Amino acid sequence: MAKDLRRLLNEKDNAHYGVMLVNRSTAEKMVGWAQRIIDFADGAVAS
């Protein structure tokens, strides 16, 4: 989970504030990383 969060935070500035656009491939990876974090959190709360 930490690895996915670190990846998301590294890309966040470009996606949100940057003048450079995030390409589709990177955006899809970011969604996957975020989904894994959400799935982990859901599992932790459900336990």
* Greatest Cα pair distance in the chain: 42
CA distances to 1, 15, 31 from 24, in Å: 22, 11, 11
- Tens of pLDDT, residue by residue over 4-46, are 999 998 888 777 776 677 889 999 999 999 999 999 999 999 9
Q: Identify the residue whose tokens are 């859901």.
A: 42
Q: Which residues contact 29 (CB under 8 A, 6 or more apart)?
A: 7
pLDDT of residue 18: 67
What does the mean pLDDT of the chain come to?
A: 89
